[in-house]
Amino acid sequence: MSTNLPPKPILTEDLPFIGVATVQNREHETFPRFLEACRNNESAVALQLANDQEPAVLTWGLSHSIKAQHLDMARQLLLNGVSWDYHTLSYASRDLDAIKLLVDFGFNVNSTLLGGGNLLRIAVARNDEEAIHFLLKQGANPNFGPPRYPHGHISQIRSLPNSGMTLNAAAGNCTPEIFALLLEHGAVLSNSIALHRAAGVSVSVPPGERIPMLRYLLGLGLDINGMDDAIKIGDDGRGQRGSPLMYAIYWGRTIEAKWLLEHGADPDRKTPWGISARDQVRRYPAEHRMSVLLQEICPEEP
């Protein structure tokens, strides 16, 4: 009989946790040879020696076979009931076929990995569009993710149901189309500091490469002068940097800073703890590129 009740929401504490398999006896005489066989795709040898291995060693063998991209070998081990661990998933995250193999054997794509992360966040951080599409189709929740400020041992950290870490990673690494896809699958924009993350990326990202993302995010209605309150700890600014412009300045992103200034960023907007982007730049020499930029576009009043 149908009750017409809405489906029960998935709670992050109910998700499988994928830790690390610990081998108890590394002195077992066939331990090295078993792992070697898994690495070298020697299925017959590996399966023969598997009967004499402890469960954690079998998991290591599975990880070695996936790392070496021997997926037929990995399939044989999975068919024999071998379990995966964090390292297995870490290696599988680099190969969509490996991810699909584990899903075929029952892997829950929302599983919490060591440190509170998950496969979707890894795929987004790598801008692996094929993996992102696949994981979302398998039900990956873009709101699940690690805490911004984790506490305790890494093995005790679990996913949060309202993490903005995946959207933050998308803002700094992916196309607007992928960001939109995450929103279509339920990602909550207010959990993130997406505009800040797009403005402040590492030096490995080519200059100006994130401007299409900045333009897209402004089109969503984000405040170009908004503070990074989604990661707020207290009123004293702990853990925060301020506005998107302040992120661009901190990371030395001159082109992004110029674009923000040209589109309404206010260098004199103070954070709740009393610092502005101009205050940041005052710490630099007058000939510094950020000082020159600010003086050209928004000269300080005498």
pLDDT tens-digit map of 239-259: 789 999 999 999 999 999 999
Q: What is the CATH number of the domain that holds 197?
A: 1.25.40.20
| Cα–Cα dist 289/294, whole Å | 9
Q: Name the pLDDT band for 11 (thresholds 50, 70, 90).
A: low
Residue 110 lies in a domain: no
Q: Name the pLDDT band for 12 (thresholds 50, 70, 90).
A: low
pLDDT score recorded for residue 118: 96
Give 216-219's long-range contacts (Cβ < 8 A, gap of 24+).
216/176, 216/179, 216/180, 217/171, 217/179, 218/263
Q: Name the pLDDT band for 301 (thresholds 50, 70, 90).
A: confident
pLDDT digit string, tens, across residues 13-71: 678 999 999 999 999 999 999 999 999 999 999 999 999 999 999 999 999 999 999 99
CB atoms within 10 A of CB 226: 15
| Cα–Cα dist 282/86, whole Å | 46
Torsion, Cα 51 101 11 178, to 10 degrees, reads 150
Residue 227 lies in a domain: yes
Residue range(s) defining the domain that contains residue 256: 193-302
pLDDT score recorded for residue 106: 97
Residue 217 lies in a domain: yes
pLDDT score recorded for residue 149: 80
pLDDT digit string, tens, across residues 117-174: 999 999 999 999 999 999 999 999 999 998 888 877 888 888 889 999 999 999 999 9
Which carries the bigger pLDDT value, residue 3 or residue 111?
Answer: 111
Mean pLDDT throughout 203-213? 96
Q: How many domains does the chain have?
A: 1
Q: Which of 63, 60, 69 is nearest to 41 (CA)?
A: 69
Residue 145 lies in a domain: no
Residue 243, both tokens: 């506005």
pLDDT score recorded for residue 302: 67
Residue 228 lies in a domain: yes
Residue 90 lies in a domain: no
Residue 248, both tokens: 């661009």
pLDDT digit string, tens, across residues 281-295: 999 999 999 999 999
Residue 138 lies in a domain: no
- Predicted structure pTM score: 0.90
pLDDT score recorded for residue 172: 98
Residue 123 lies in a domain: no
